[in-house]
Structure 1
Amino acid sequence: MARAEDVKVKPRSKRAKRIMEKREPKLVEEVKTVLLLHGNKTSQVTKDVLTDIHRLKFREALKLSRKNDDMKPFEPGGETHLEHLARKADCGMFVLDSHTKKRPHNLILGRFFDHRVYDLLELGVDKYRAIREFAAAAASVQAGNKPCFAFVGEQFESDPDFRLAKSMLLDLFRGRLVESINLKGVDHVIFVAAMDRKLLLRPYAIRFKKSGTKIPRVELAEMGPEMDLSIRRTRPAAADLEKEAMKRALIHKKKEKNVSRDNLEGKVGRMYVPRQEVETMPLRKMKGLKRDRRETAVAAKAEKKQRSEGAPTPVSV
């Protein structure tokens, strides 16, 4: 039996049609809006974490204040209400906080594809310092700016759980994809280090100082939130769903005429050269022919003068 969310609703107006087309999956993905929401039981630590994430994401995050009893993404059927909210708010990612005796100060990060839960990552907050404790450094960072990332540790390349955590953090904080960026727009860097089964997350504010040259001197000041996160549970994407989500847009380039590519010479072009008329082509004049040309010009001038005066043209016998 199909779920109510899977039933296609036919739009009744052009405005509703545009909204539904905007929410459909796209080959070229737009910026992910993050859905921040609370579980059944929460702690003040996880509430402050969501507040700081919302501050860093600025307008690219939607924070809900009510508690949700039926949100347990790792359990079968526990993601139904979560997917409903994602479809309603058109969000591509979520952060859910909870607090239990078995898993204290718990954060669940997940991504959506076609408003279905794609993959999940569960983190435990072992240590936390809020942005308000670094007010001086955080005040210099403009909300919504793109950060730099620094991942330290070979686990980010070898361990699948750490690879998932790296991908999840990049999607969470990277913001909009741009082709170029102003140097002054990069005002903070997020440093993430891997240690055993933990992630040490340290954001720093970037300050440009005078150096006497055109290139400024760069200094870092810790701005928060400072967090030590332990990896608890992960759930990678299903094989069929991953194959569907990894489709790339086919870019059709305009065909170039008379152009081919060679492994050795690279780009090779063929030029069109018209047929050359050698007989009528003005060639280089040699010095030995100047006398003959001069005599021919004098004879032609005399003949032209005789014709203009009406005199008979002499005929050689």
Structure 2
Amino acid sequence: MEDAQPLVPGQTKLVKAKTRRGKRYLEARAPKAIEDAKRALFLYGNQTSQVIKDVLTDLFQLKRLEGQKFTRKNENVRPFETGGETSLEFYCNRSNCPLFVLGSHSKKRPHNLVLGRMFDFRLYDALELGVDDFKAIKDFGAAGTAAQMGNKPCIIFVGEKFESVPALALAKSLLLDFFRGEQVDRINLAGIDRVVMAVAVDDTRLQLRQYAIRFKKSGTRIPRVVLTEMGPHMGLSVRRYRLPPSDMQQEAMRQPKLGKKKQKNVSSDLLDGKVGRIYMPKQNMDTLGLSKYKGTKRERRDSAREAAEARKRPKSAEQQATAPAEE
């Protein structure tokens, strides 16, 4: 796969595949009008705590089909420091993960959780959260295994702070990208078996809950819906956040023009199909070069031969007598 390496950040040379396998690899990672489900990279910082390990384990369990988890510590991964995003961009590029979840623990920032995104495998934005209250999925018993892996959840955001506060608006966008999965046009309602709820308590605190959906008998055709908490149960506080640069945001929000390009003087008809209108300038038939058929060429040759034979014939006596008079 050496011939199918993708572009690294800052590289301007276009890498072309030399094998069919490398071509398929590059096509899978190429930009698309409708993107695939975003993969997430889970990794640890220099120091961690047992709470952060349990948080990353539960989040990875929710994102197992579109995620990758590192088990070793990473000292040089610091998204909020200058130059600290280089190693993170390299890991995300190698793993093909535009999302990342970084867990760390220190005396200044205990139980620290960082959510972030990449654009073109460059750090786009990041949000630092502190885990104040946590209850793992395994603590809810059988309710924690009620949902089936791979199903799309119903995501609910409660509170007007998600629209007015920049940090919580960024948290809403990140959580939507994290839990949304693959974009689809239609969905079977029977496949929605869990609800992810985010509640904005105030400007700097939010709560994250997940509930399993159970259908009970109601005596009618519409069942009675019962929500049972299944975990993870988290209380989060906003610490630091990093918004994307304006030029990168403008580039990331650019969308291709879908649909066929309108053609001038071309329409469609149910009977004739594609119908076009052509405008021709005025033409002079005398000077217009037309194709000559073989029949017309033969007639010209015969007339030319008869004229030549007539000039070669001797003149009669009457023609010789009248010739001086005409002169």
TM-score w.r.t. structure 2 length? 0.75
Give, in angstroms, the shift of residue 103 of structure 1. Answer: 0.3
Matched, 1:6 2:4: no
- Give the Cα–Cα distance (whole angstroms) in 2 for the partners of residues 55 and 174 of structure 1: 15
CA contact under 8 A between 2:9 and 2:121: conserved in structure 1? no
Aligned partner of 2:298 in structure 1 is none
Q: Is 1:249 aligned with 2:259?
A: no
Opposite residue 77 of structure 1, the aligned amino acid is G
Q: CA deviation at 1:254?
A: 7.3
Counterpart among 71, 90, 103 of residue 109 in structure 2: 103
Q: Of residues 67, 92, 101 in structure 2, which corresponds to 1:61? A: 67
Q: Does 1:74 align with 2:76?
A: no
Q: Which amino acid aligns with 2:56?
A: L
**Deviations along 1:195-236, whole A, 9 cap, x unmatched?**
121111111110001112111100000100000000100101
Give the distance between the partners of 2:268 and 2:61, measured in 1 at CA. Answer: 55
Corresponding residue for residue 129 of structure 1? 135
Asked if 1:35 is matched to 2:60, the reply is no
Report if the CA contact (8 A) 1:24-1:114 is conserved.
no
- Matched positions, count: 257
CA deviation after TM superposition for structure 1 residue 67, in Å = 0.7
Structure 2 counterpart SS, 1:149: strand
Is contact 1:129-1:225 (8 Å) kept? yes
Partner of 2:323: none
Residue 176 in structure 1 maps to residue 187 in structure 2: no
**How many angstroms does 1:13 deviate by?**
2.6
> Take 1:18 and 1:241, find their aligned partners in 2: how far apart are those partners?
28
For the 8 Å contact 1:28–1:249, the answer to whether it is kept is no
Specify the alignment match of 2:168 in structure 1.
Answer: 162
Matched, 1:216 2:223: yes
Supply the AA of the counterpart residue of 1:228: G
Q: Please say which of residues 93-102 and 53-62 is displaced more in the overlay.
A: 53-62
8 Å contact kept, 1:131–1:224: yes
Q: Deviations over 1:64-121 (max 9, x none)?
A: 1111011001111111111111111111100000000000000111101111111010
- The structure-2 alpha-carbon separation of the partners of 1:30 and 1:4, relative to structure 1 and needing over 3 Å to count, comes to closer
Q: Which amino acid aligns with 1:201?
A: L
Give 1:146's match in structure 2, choosing from 152, 170, 182.
152
Partner of 1:166, secondary structure, is: helix
- Shift of residue 54, structure 1, vs aligned partner: 1.1
Distance in 2, matches of 1:248 and 1:254, equals 16
Q: Which residue of 2 aligns with 1:89?
A: 95
Describe the SS at the equivalent of 1:171: helix
Please name the residue that 1:304 is paired with: none
Query: Percent identity among equivalent residues?
Result: 55
SS class of match (2:63):
helix
Gaps of 5+ in 1: 260-317
Q: Whole-Å Cα distance in 2 between the matches of residues 228 and 160 of structure 1?
A: 19
Contact 1:124 1:231 survives alignment (8 Å):
yes
Residues 34/4 of structure 1: CA separation in 2 closer, same or farther (3 Å cut): closer
Matching residue's letter, 2:99:
M
The letter of the residue matching 2:57 is T
Contact 1:27 / 1:247 at 8 angstroms: preserved in 2? Answer: no
Q: Point out where structure 2 has 5 or more consecutive residues left out of the alignment.
A: 1-6, 270-327
Secondary structure of 1:97's aligned partner: strand
* Equivalent position of 2:276 in the other structure: none
Shift of 1:6: 2.9
Three-state SS of the structure 2 residue aligned to 1:215 is: coil
TM-score, structure 1 length as denominator? 0.77
Shift of 1:257: 3.7
User: 2:133 touches 2:236 (CA, 8 Å); kept in 1?
Assistant: yes
CA distance in 2, matches of 1:114, 1:25: 9
Residue 122 (structure 2) aligned to one of 107, 116, 132: 116
List per-residue Cα deviations over 1:156-189 (Å, max 9, x = no partner): 1111111100000111111111111112210010
